[in-house]
Structure 1
């Protein structure tokens, strides 16, 4: 039961745009539901792991990027019990 609750919270509390994209890639085993879903396909450049970009590491692909994201790294913090996120707006 604990795993089921944790799984539901992942979907309910998805704050970061990258998590939304990841969750949209998970297939739903119901063909009718799957047909109606819209997949989030990220555009932009995948950052180099050797030369990481300044600010948020995801800003080169984020559809919601702002100037703050480009210069200020997000702090990884616990927003709720067991729910950690590094996102300026989450």
Structure 2
């Protein structure tokens, strides 16, 4: 399971359910720009616990919703017992 992509997929899904643009979301968060939101949604960011809490709060959901497997594509979920990351460290994929 690619955790960053799962968070990004859920974040985008929840944002779109509320008809919020990436720009509006960035404004509501206050300390990020639209590019950060785009990178987050594509799995290119590894948000901290604090950021996950802030994202959930702005969306009005429990932070656990950002980790929901319900409806997530198989290429993101894969084997839920194997946690992977799409964010590289020194050019190598972490696992």
What TM-score, normalized by structure 2, do the two folds share? 0.26
Computing the radius of gyration over CA atoms, which structure comes out larger, 1 or 2? 1
Return the structure number with greater relative CO, CA threshold 8 A, min gap 6.
2
Greater helix share, structure number: 2
